[in-house]
Amino acid sequence: MAKQNIKKIEILASINDVKEIVDLVQRKGIIELSDIPDDNLVDKLSTSQSFGFYEKYLNEVKNALKTLDKYCPKSKGLLESIIPQKDNISLAEYLKNADKANAYLGYCYDINAAEKQIEESATSIARCELVLENIEPWLDLDIPMKYSGSKTTSVFIGTLPENYSSETLKTALLPYLGDEDRYECEIISSSGKQTYVFVICHNECKQLVYDALRAIGFAYPSDPTKHPPRVRYERYNKQISDLKDKSDKALETIKDCAKYRRDIEFAYDYFSLYKEKYSAISKLAVTENIFILNGYITEENAKRISDELEKKYTVAINITDPDENEDVPVELKNNSFNGAVEGITNMYSPPGKNDIDPNPVMAFFYYALFGIMLSDAGYGLLMVIGTAIAKSKMKLEGAMKKTVDMYFYCGIATVFWGALFGSWFGDIFEVVAKNFFGVADLGAKINDTLGFTLFRSGIALWFQPVQDPMRLMRYSFLFGIIHLFAGLFASFYKMWKANNKIGAICDVIPVFLLITGICPVGAGILSVNVPSQLKNAGLIMAAAGAVLIVLTAGRDSKNIVGKLGLGLYGLYNTASGWMSDILSYSRLLALGLCTGVIASVVNTMGTIPQNTVAKACLLVPVFIFGHVVNMAINLIGTYVHTNRLQYVEFFSKFYEGGGRSFTPLKTNTKYFNIKED
Amino acid sequence: MNLTMGALLAILGGVIAAIMGGVGSAIGVGTVGQAAAGVVSEDPSKFGKVLILQILPGTQGLYGFLVAFLLLVQIGVMSGEIIGGDTGLTVSQGLMYFAACMPMAVGGLISAMYQGKAAVAGVGIVAKKPEESGKAIIFAAMVETYAVLALLISILSIFSITSIITG
């Protein structure tokens, strides 16, 4: 039984031990807490304030780590960047460091303050630079920009649109001022479409000159200086360099703190554990002297934790069976071979209350079908090697370990089928043998050398799908029928165990008879030589099955017409449903061919040149690039279609889903694994 | 080598399968890519999940290519010796090949476009409920069944026609 027996656990203990016991429960990670409703008998602990504090601390730490990643990124290996690795620390070390968590938080405050400083400096610098940009054209002016003249003179300092020199300005003003020399001007600077001018005239013609200037678009600067522009320019330059100093210093602080990265990571784990712990504590109920913890636990863990708690604390522990209509979580326990596909099942839905654990039934088929669809031993070998390296070099846990395991077994299946179908990176061995060693038929040559027929066709141990697609199609249907029958018998087992023996017999046996009976005829249509006696026997069997379906499918109906109607409908449903389900397995052929043919095309393209050296030079890059792309695309396709066959064809035979995964309170850490001594 | 009208029709069939499968996939993958980019702009960590959805409507292009390639192999274009003996392929034989390619051409084009739409909706699932992304993949993959069936009937027809012609 792969579905674990879940019990309800109730722990009562002295309120003084609440923190220690919750700590222990969290470290063990085997109890899923359930909320105890607030009523007249018990109170709830208010933890929202502490929870809020820890959430705030956690955010500080998160931001600090983000800043560290920005300025002093940690160098990671290739594998590590795909699968993050955790360090192990002992419980003693954890507790020792826990006291320092507040100090570690201090580093985070420093880092965040420094980062804030850097950001603010950057904004201020940008603002100052804008001012500098505005003042630059005025730098040659050696009086304040606000200067408007002496007792007898008037001064206009401002900008004119368009590019003027003293002469062209004079010409431009000619229509307004006439020939007379009424003003003196100096072009401070000009840039493309603007001219920065200083114009002086006698007070008497102040208005005249001003109007003339206005007429050609004169404007006062928006932010004139009280001192000569250079003074402001230098002041802002100084400000910028001060800001840069500040920002550099802040960066220095951050870089200094980089050596505390490990501590900060520790603080991250520490505060996230506390956050979770406090949200767990809010589920407890308390009275003046005791607290009550309610939850779900697997049967095998229940005994162990009660022993441990009873030894250490004064507790009362109640272990009971959950009620019939309670929302009990599901915990699965499988060996590595079967457990590896748990992720696939959970993606559909964890097993519901009445379901059996589908993983042991489906694991073997999952790998086998995956292998037929990917069907290239070379790609399979790469998967096996890749996952084996990941398994040996890295600490994998939980879902990640299962995924890696799954691809490992899928890889083995792929190598198996690929060898049967003679596809190793397409036909690379044959292509190389033919193009570089002049061996036209590699398989035949090896057979000759060995003295017996190892390879039946090409280098296939069985047959090459491209040579005989119909054959693979027939086998695809056969594998499909076997897969579906496995599902059918799983449903038999499930109903039988649920004491629905009539259902088990009536819903499974007739379908089995019908489908098995039709098989010889179906095989005949697909041009298999079937003896007519077998065909006839099959037809009798199928007829018996059909009659049984008509008789039993409507057994829930009250009257005879309803029984018959539902029976006929059931027959139609079964026949059409199974037909389309079985046909669906033709995708095994389609995807298998797709991988093999495209892989061969890659090899063919690599050997286009006539010259042997050119061939070799082209083949290597084409081989690497082509097969990487082909493998990636086909891996995704295969994964998707294997899932589809499991979900749509297989699961529909017996699996309902709708369960809820067991989510115990545990030490959900990101950087460290806390190991109990 | 006998380049007859029949050979031309056969090759034309294969080419149309490759073109229409490719066009359908390009449309499908393109539409999903636009939706996927929107999700990634909000949350870059969902890149892997939406990428799988984006690739899904891409298989029709491959299938079309596969049909065209198998056709070229089967009628002997790749080996330089077109089947059909001295007279080469007749017009009716060529039309048979042409017809054999049509399921993949039409099925590929349309299924890729609609698979693209289903995958776009799936991108919405990934955006809102990333833990349910497996279901999004299945919704899109359901459409692909019909491309697979079209591929099968095209391939099987091509193989059987060849065995009829060559005896």
Q: What is the pLDDT of residues A410-437, one digit of tens each?
A: 999 999 999 999 999 999 999 999 888 8
Percent of chain B with pLDDT over 70: 99
The predicted-structure confidence for B28-80, as pLDDT tens digits, reads as follows 999 999 999 999 998 887 887 888 888 889 889 989 988 998 898 888 887 77
Identity of the amino acid at A371 = G
Q: Do A470 and B159 touch (CB under 8 A)?
A: yes
What pLDDT does residue A420 have?
Answer: 94
What pLDDT does residue A677 have?
Answer: 60
Percent of chain A with pLDDT over 70: 98
The answer to whether residue A484 sits within a structural domain is no
Q: Say which residues have a Cβ less than 8 Å from residue A458's Cβ, sequence separation at least 6.
A: A422, A427, A430, A442, A443, A464, A467
Q: Which of A21-30, A79-88, A353-362, B7-16 has the lowest mean pLDDT?
A: A79-88
CB B93 within 8 A of CB B6: yes
Report the C-alpha gap between A513 and A552 in whole angstroms. 14
How many domains, in total, are found in chain A?
A: 1
User: Which is it for the CA torsion A556, A562, A568, A572, positive or negative?
Assistant: negative
The predicted-structure confidence for A659-669, as pLDDT tens digits, reads as follows 888 888 888 88
Report the C-alpha gap between A315 and A406 in whole angstroms. 42
| Residue A45 pLDDT grade (very low, low, confident, very high; cuts 50, 70, 90) | confident
Give CA separation, A97 vs A15, A583, B78, in Å: 26, 62, 71
Measured in angstroms, the CA of A511 and the nearest CA of chain B are apart by 25
| Residue A78 pLDDT grade (very low, low, confident, very high; cuts 50, 70, 90) | low
Q: Do B159 and A640 touch (CB under 8 A)?
A: no
Residue of A nearest to B142 (CA): A644
Radius of gyration of the CA atoms of chain A, in A? 40
**Chain B partners within 8 Å of A594 (Cβ):** 59, 62-63, 66, 151
What pLDDT does residue A413 have?
Answer: 97
What is residue A205's DSSP assignment? G
State ipTM: 0.78
Looking at residue B111, which CATH number applies to its domain? Answer: 1.20.120.610
Q: Do B159 and A647 touch (CB under 8 A)?
A: no
Question: Would you say how long chain A is, in residues?
Answer: 677
Report the C-alpha gap between A91 and A667 in whole angstroms. 12
What pLDDT does residue B154 have?
Answer: 93
What pLDDT does residue A82 have?
Answer: 67
Q: Which of the residue ranges A18-22, A327-331, B87-91, B110-114 has the most confident prediction, judged by mean pLDDT?
A: B110-114
pLDDT at A633 over 80: yes
Average pLDDT, chain A: 88
Other Cβ atoms within 10 Å of A62 Cβ, number: 15
What pLDDT does residue A560 have?
Answer: 86
Mean pLDDT of all residues in A565-587 = 88
Chosen from B47, B69, B138 to mutate, greatest number of chain A CBs within 10 A: B138
Report the C-alpha gap between A551 and A544 in whole angstroms. 10
The strand pair at A87-90 and A672-675 is best described as parallel
Report the C-alpha gap between A218 and A220 in whole angstroms. 7
Measured in angstroms, the CA of A587 and the nearest CA of chain B are apart by 6
pLDDT at A508 over 60: yes
What is residue A203's DSSP assignment? G
Give CA separation, B26 vs A5, A242, A331, B108, B112, in Å: 51, 55, 43, 11, 8
pLDDT at A176 over 50: yes
What is residue A283's DSSP assignment? T
What pLDDT does residue A584 have?
Answer: 87
The pTM of the full predicted model, rounded to 2 decimals, is: 0.81
Report the C-alpha gap between A321 and A314 in whole angstroms. 23
What pLDDT does residue A43 have?
Answer: 82
Looking at residue A157, which CATH number applies to its domain? Answer: 3.30.70.2750
CA angle B128, B134, B137 (to 5 degrees): 95
pLDDT at A274 over 50: yes
In b/e form, how buried is each residue of A1-16, taking b as 16+ CB within 10 angstroms? Answer: ebbbebbbbebebeee
- Expressed as residue numbers, the domain containing B24 is 5-166
Q: Which of A71-80, A344-353, B31-40, B133-142 has the lowest mean pLDDT?
A: A71-80
List the structure tokens of A593. 């061919």
pLDDT at B1 over 70: no
What pLDDT does residue A77 have?
Answer: 67
CB A340 within 8 A of CB A402: yes
What pLDDT does residue A586 have?
Answer: 87
| Residue A623 pLDDT grade (very low, low, confident, very high; cuts 50, 70, 90) | very high
CB A155 within 8 A of CB A148: yes
What pLDDT does residue A96 have?
Answer: 85
More confident residue, A75 or A434: A434
Kindly report the backbone phi and psi dihedral angles of residue A180, in degrees, each rounded to the nearest multiple of 5, phi listed first.
-60, 150
- What strand order describes the sheet that includes A194-202? A153-161, A194-202, A183-191
- Expressed as residue numbers, the domain containing A150 is 146-220
Chain B residues bordering chain A (beta-carbon distance below 8 Å): 52, 55-56, 58-59, 62-63, 65-66, 69-70, 134-135, 137-138, 141-142, 144-145, 148-149, 151-152, 155-156, 159
What is residue A14's DSSP assignment? E
In this complex, the residue of B58, B65, B148 whose CB is nearest that of residue A590 is B148
How many domains, in total, are found in chain B?
A: 1
- For tokens 């476009």, name the residue: B113
Q: Which of the residue ranges A15-19, A42-46, A380-384 has the most confident prediction, judged by mean pLDDT?
A: A380-384
| Residue A258 pLDDT grade (very low, low, confident, very high; cuts 50, 70, 90) | confident
User: Which is it for the CA torsion A260, A263, A268, A274, positive or negative?
Assistant: negative
The predicted-structure confidence for A437-488, as pLDDT tens digits, reads as follows 888 888 888 888 888 888 888 888 999 988 888 889 899 999 999 999 999 9
pLDDT at A595 over 80: yes
Give CA separation, B88 vs B3, B8, B72, B84, B92, in Å: 7, 11, 14, 4, 12
What pLDDT does residue A479 have?
Answer: 95
The predicted-structure confidence for A535-546, as pLDDT tens digits, reads as follows 999 999 999 999
Q: Do B152 and A597 touch (CB under 8 A)?
A: no
What pLDDT does residue A166 have?
Answer: 84
What pLDDT does residue A1 have?
Answer: 44
Q: Do B63 and A637 touch (CB under 8 A)?
A: no
